[in-house]
Amino acid sequence: MDRVAVFPGSFDPITLGHLDIIERAVPLFDKIIVAIGTNSSKNYMFSLEQRIKFIEDSVAKFENVEVMAYKGLTVDFCDEVNAQFILRGLRNPADFEFEKAIAHTNRAITNHNIETIFLLTSSGKAYISSSIVRDVMRNGGKYEILVPDVVRI
């Protein structure tokens, strides 16, 4: 059985922190699906199509990474794509507490054994978040040092 991991998020936009997690997870799984969750009540800076393109261009060198969009619960999407793992990046203790609660909830609400795998973001990228990147972009700051080269506005 292939080891399939889903790396869910809004990726608005993908950051060097996200890319760090993907690059380090590539050798751990047979396939990684970067899964863009869609939430109609959320106001995104980038369209779904732009986010898909940013991610696809950023991960093109990895044969075992693909990009998909989904709606609904991540565990339901994992069932649809036969994923046994949810991949999450951790930047700090607050991320851990939040992600731990989600992981426990996911295990409680699914009939399948979907394991959540946590990777610590590399120390040089642990301060990067999409919300900070969006704020820097909106205010004309030097966002290019926080995102892959393909993310440009």
Strands 115-120 and 85-90: parallel
Q: Span 2-149: which CATH code?
A: 3.40.50.620
Question: Where in the chain are the domains?
Answer: 2-149
Q: What angle do CA 8, 91, 150 make, to 5 degrees?
A: 60
Active site includes 58?
no
C-alpha closest to that of 54 among 95, 12, 17: 12
Work out the average pLDDT over 94-123.
90
Residue 138 annotated as part of some ligand binding site: no
Question: Does 4 score more than 90 pLDDT?
Answer: yes
Work out the average pLDDT over 60-76.
96
Long-range contacts of 24-28 (CB under 8 A, 24+ apart): 24/119, 24/122, 25/87, 25/117, 25/119, 26/62, 26/64, 26/65, 28/3, 28/117
CA distance 107 to 24: 24
Give the tens place of pLDDT for each residue, 15-63. 999 999 999 999 999 999 999 998 777 889 999 999 999 999 999 999 9
Which pLDDT belongs to residue 112?
Answer: 72
Residue 91 annotated as part of some ligand binding site: yes
Residue 11 annotated as part of some ligand binding site: yes
Which pLDDT belongs to residue 24?
Answer: 97
Helix (H, G, I), strand (E, B) or coil at 49: helix
Catalytic residue among 40, 41, 42, 142: 42
Residue at 39: amino acid letter: N
Which pLDDT belongs to residue 32?
Answer: 98
